[in-house]
Amino acid sequence: MTAFNLLSEPIRKYIRNKKWESLRPIQEASIQRIISTDNNYILISRTASGKTEAAFLPILSKVNFKVPGVKVLYISPLIALINDQFFRVESLCEYLDVPVIKWHGEASKAAKDRLLKSPEGIVLITPESIEAMFVNKPYNIRHLFSGLEYVVIDEIHSFLGSDRGTHLQSLLSRLQKINVKKFSIVGLSATVSDANQYTELKEFLGDSEHTKVIRDTTPKPINAVFKYFPGSVEELPLPLLKDLYIRTRESKVLIFPNARGRVEEVAVKLKQISEKIGGHKNYFSHHSSVDKEVREYVEFFAKNSALQNFCISCTSTLELGIDIGNVDEVVQIDATHSIASLIQRVGRSGRREGKASNLLLYATEPWSLLQSLACWMLYKEQYIEPVSINKKPYDIMVHQLLSTVKSSSVISLPELVEEITRNSAFSEISMEETEEIIHYLTAIDFFEKLGNELIIGIHGEEVVNTKEFYSLFDAPVFFKVSSSGVKIGELPLSPQIRENENIYLSAKIWSIKDIDYQTKKIEVIPAKDGKKPKFFGDAADTAHQIREKMLEILISKEQYDFLDDVAQQIIILLRSEFSSFIINDCKKKRPLLNHNEKITFYSFTSSKINRTIELILDSLNIENRLDPQKSAFEIEDCTLEELKTVLSRPDIGQNIDEVLTDLLESRPEIIDFSKWGKYLPVTYQIKLLKEKYFDLKGCYAYLKDLEITENNF
């Protein structure tokens, strides 16, 4: 064990006391590299393979904690993950006498104050808390973090390709700027399988040249079973629930039904079945609208129930690395919208060494079965959909401009431009563009010129001085639900929320007794029967590659032995519907069904490209209706020839800027997909729409190659 000998004595003592027989492969590799170089590293290996230790064992051996100042900063996307990792990191640090401090919105203020008095050790933090410190206590940032040696970013894939990621990238760049010597970064992830993503990840860390990837590809056996039960969106079919109950009653299970309302439906109904039969009572629901303390209890129960079985119905809240102990089986109801998500969910089961993961996939609708199958095939091919990085994040720049001015006591226009354009998050935005945006922000009183200096203007103060400023995403308004002082969760106001209406929440049934519109509170009492709650929102986007795989499955003749008989029949049926099309190239050819009055065009492409095609058709006044699940357009009053002409002209969007200008005028709320985009000049809002809401580039590339294939009757 050569890597072992490279570790410092206290760390070796830790490993001996833990009675580890050996180091994991990812740990062996990372110890040698991290200790001997100052490169950035991205550690990729599956869930529960010891990644956290792979980063911390060598870092703790290498860093000199005797020098004052915080030496290691651990950044996590979730508070829950910080609380979880705190115990792990702290137990390691006991051997070194290095303090570990949690710094997030719910962390102890006293501990934060102690850290400010004597900055040292390791800090666990969220990106938003770093932002808040930059804005409110810029001197503390320097005081605490100017001597950082290592930054560890957990679940790094969850940041990549998102606004929150660009935000973090900017914060890292700003931290690096105030640092006396350059700190190194170690990113951790289980969800990177495509080597194309390495480039994006390296750029994300701001220094591609000195960033290396260490990856453990040891495969993990997975048993997958697909089952089909016809159902409706309104309610899950009873036979499915019964089958699900029988399959899971003697296990520790996580169920992912994709939507919060359905999560509640599954939890309540399985619990009802279990009560009737006299099975265990440990049925829970876990999603963003379940009260935080209830969620923590559920996590605690799962982690500490070695002997008892349980069943947690959940959304992506249990997708990331929160430790909930051993899970025997993962159930997915209807298709995941991404392969990345499927990987994370599969990773939650069989965490014990050498134990296989079990995956049970239910479908209630033919196209959902097809999508589920497509995701599974791509997963087996070790493929993950590419992330789309916004190279010109003007909206995040607005936010970071405000933050930078607020955190500088004195800053001139050229200094601000210089600081922003040197930030790696905005490297592709030109100096002219930056200046234009600053001038605009000055014109709308977000900034004010005082001689040569820029300060926050009157309207700027209004947005900067609220707690909503620190994040890049908007939160919807919810009503807090409680029963006799016990908090249960929260619900959005909808026609469903009326007195005496009964709803599911937190795996229980409630009757609404009082709604207080002033304080936004709902009082409930326990009830016997009810309905699933309705939440509003957009479905997550589906990638082009998944849709293409769906078409590939449709035209192939391959048999899949992991499908049950009904599911096999459904695939045969879908295939027969498409048997009249001659498709020999799934990259270019797309089927078009001509039924005299109207035509159906199966685009088999991403949600964003579909949204763009919809925009083009709308702008040409061609009546169309998009079925997002089938990725199909029903088009009326348009001949096939006309449609072909429209879609075969990649120059179709020459006047797209005018179309988007009109759109912004008639539906200004369309820009709300971006929290900060609404403060940009219209020309930049258009650029943002093209890049982030629609996918103009992708759409043109798709249409350029598109060959429409009609059915032969």
> What single DSSP character describes residue 690?
I
State the Cα angle at 386 between 380 and 387, rounded to 5°: 135
116 binds DNA (CB under 7 A): no
Q: Considering only residues 33, 534, 644, 649, which one is a binding residue for DNA as defined by CB under 7 A?
A: 534
Residue 480 backbone dihedrals phi, psi, to 5 degrees: -80, 130
State both tokens at 245.
């109950």
Q: Considering only residues 38, 68, 105, 139, which one is a binding residue for DNA as defined by CB under 7 A?
A: 105
Nearest Cα to 592, choosing from 705, 710, 712, 702? 710
Closest to DNA by CB, 468 vs 636, is 468
> Interaction with DNA in 436-475: which residues (CB under 7 A)?
467-468, 470-471, 473, 475
Q: Considering only residues 243, 541, 564, 634, which one is a binding residue for DNA as defined by CB under 7 A?
A: 541
Closest to DNA by CB, 17 vs 466, is 466
Q: Considering only residues 353, 529, 538, 669, which one is a binding residue for DNA as defined by CB under 7 A?
A: 538
> Interaction with DNA in 168-227: which residues (CB under 7 A)?
none
233 binds DNA (CB under 7 A): yes
164 binds DNA (CB under 7 A): yes
> Interaction with DNA in 35-74: which residues (CB under 7 A)?
none
Long-range CB contacts (< 8 A, 24+ apart) of 586-589? 586/548, 586/551, 586/552, 586/555, 587/548, 587/705, 588/705, 588/706, 588/707, 589/707, 589/708, 589/709
Residue 348 backbone dihedrals phi, psi, to 5 degrees: -75, -15
Alpha carbon distance 258, 642 (integer Å): 39
Q: Cβ contacts of residue 157 below 8 Å, gap of 6+?
A: 189, 190, 191, 192, 197, 340, 387
Q: Considering only residues 14, 134, 226, 535, which one is a binding residue for DNA as defined by CB under 7 A?
A: 535
600 binds DNA (CB under 7 A): no
- Cβ at position 260, least distance to DNA in Å: 4
Closest to DNA by CB, 203 vs 291, is 291
Q: Concatenated DSSP letters for 162-222? A: SHHHHHHHHHHHHHHHH-SSPPEEEEEES----THHHHHHHHHTT-GGGEEEEE------E
Closest to DNA by CB, 136 vs 442, is 136
540 binds DNA (CB under 7 A): yes
Alpha carbon distance 507, 290 (integer Å): 9
526 binds DNA (CB under 7 A): no
Cβ atoms 218, 27 nearer than 8 A: no
State both tokens at 600.
């159906």
In the block, which residue shows the tokens 């592709």? 428
> Interaction with DNA in 276-305: which residues (CB under 7 A)?
287-289
Alpha carbon distance 520, 321 (integer Å): 33
Number of residues that bind DNA (CB under 7 A): 46
- Cβ at position 571, least distance to DNA in Å: 20
- Cβ at position 229, least distance to DNA in Å: 17
Binding segment toward DNA, per CB under 7 A, in 149-157, 445-453, 527-535, 573-581: 527-535
532 binds DNA (CB under 7 A): yes
- Cβ at position 538, least distance to DNA in Å: 6
Residues found near DNA in the complex (CB under 7 A) = 77-80, 104-106, 126, 128-129, 132, 136-137, 162, 164, 233-234, 258-262, 287-289, 315-317, 341, 467-468, 470-471, 473, 475, 532, 534-541, 628-629
